[in-house]
Structure 1
Amino acid sequence: MIKKRVCWALGALLIAVLVLIVMPQFMNKHYCDSVPPKEVRDIAALEAAIKVYYINHQTYPHTLSDLIGSKVSIINSIPLDSWGNEYKYNNPAKVSNKRFEVISLGADNKIGGEGDNRDIFLIN
């Protein structure tokens, strides 16, 4: 009886480990395939620039313009998303959980939506 329980527990553990290995890869692939590559690159670049700004100033920038307006510009210009809209930035002072957000509001430039109108964001 104990042997059956041990075998069942090991089988369940093996299945759980396989699910934990496979699911994140599937989810990341699905998410990355659904997000336009330009937004992935732009948001990653803005995230890196915000972190460099934080390292240099011990505070997050108030706006994305601070990344190019400081004595030493971290990036040359603030990119626009695929639809020609500015990325939105919420610094930790505006967000209660002390994390910054970089957001593309999609083609319609409005909160929410589906398809090309969906929001693409990074919460760090």
Structure 2
Amino acid sequence: MEQKQLPLPALVHLEILRSTTDSKLEELEATRKEAERLEISHRSIIREISTVQAASQAVTAVAICTAHANSTQGTEQRALQAGVQVLKEELCAKKRALESIRASALERRCAHNACTE
């Protein structure tokens, strides 16, 4: 079997095509690596966004709980103040009753002392 030889310009043309193909393959490989790097960066950014969103939701939840607690605390404080007011009024009423009892006892004692003199 005889090997057929290509004319010299055809060989040069094939060499140029091979060189161009090699160059394009290198560019394609570099582009693929850059795409992989960008994909990794994209996933990292997505994770960071998720983390920030979770933190934002947590802050919102804490703010809602704090507002509710403050509201509840205000309601409890008003209820306690009302309870204290009721107790003060009861104490004043009992104090007046006690003073009335003391005054009656004092009058009886004075009346008793006047009778015994």
TM bucket, shorter chain: 0.3 to 0.5
Bigger Cα Rg: 2
The structure where strand makes up a greater share of residues is 1
The structure where helix makes up a greater share of residues is 2
